[in-house]
Amino acid sequence: KAVVHMPKGSVKSRFDNIAAEGAQVTIEDVNYDECVRMAAAEAEACENGVIVQDTAWDGYEEIPSWIMEGYGTMASEAAEQYAAAGVERPTHVFVQAGVGSLAGGVVGYFTNLFPENPPTFVVMEADTAACLYKGAVAGDGDPRIVDGDMPTIMAGLACGEPNTLGWDILRNHVSVFVSCPNWVAAKGMRVLGAPRKGDPRVISGESGAVGAGLITTLMESDEYAELREAIGLDETSSVLLFSTEGDTDPVNYRRVVWDGAYPAE
């Protein structure tokens, strides 16, 4: 039996897809992190309750570590594909972050795989929920928290409290944290959905497309030349990124790709 609490603003299509798996689902009038606390309290009060969550905190680390290992499978499969293509490694890995579990799993995997010459890691967050970015800016090694409403089309990244296990990896190995507004994700959705001739089409949702939007922006806009040069991103780079969702909000997908919602700024 699964009980799932979704945060404020969750769209009906995502609610319906989770409910179709047999879960008892609610949309609460609070943000993601408050939903986590709600679920944790209910699990604690239930005799056989177990919370399965990729956010880690003191005293709750074993299950999040397993989830991070699971995310590492994506990195492992990518490394196998690189080897099969005769390429030693990616020069850059762009990975999106909510609480930082996916990012921590991917960064941790490639750091261990190439300890002497790891790729350059870039972590992207939604600007309204950029807790990792804020921690990086603070520069003291401690995590930072974003609270309150976090309106963003990148619903999968709307998390304001870092996974403590992931933060420990990311703060030590990531070169750049980027706080991304909605238009970056929207640009990525359009680029992937209508690629150049010969490239495969990818139907990617908002949270999954932010990497493609950022890379395209960095390579095309002189406004970001300093950042591009700082991380050594050029025509010789081999960039790995992951699209972590399809069009799970089909209404907004059409608004972005068909109607041009959230144009580049």
Q: What are the structural domain ranges in the chain?
A: 3-45, 62-257
CATH 3.30.930.10 fits 62-257, yes or no: no
Residue 265 has pLDDT above 90, yes or no: no
Specify the length of the chain in residues. Answer: 265
118 vs 108: CA distance, rounded Å: 10
> What is the model's pTM?
0.92
Quickly state the pLDDT bin for 149 (edges 50, 70, 90): confident
Instruction: State pLDDT tens for residues 39-55.
Output: 999 999 999 999 999 88
Instruction: State pLDDT tens for residues 6-20.
Output: 999 899 999 999 999
Evaluate the CA torsion angle 16, 18, 19, 24 in order and state its sign. Answer: negative
| Across 111-120, 126-135, 143-152, least confident range | 143-152
In this prediction, residues 168-192 reach a mean pLDDT of 96
20-30 residues labelled b (16+ CB within 10 A) or e (exposed): eeeeebebeeb
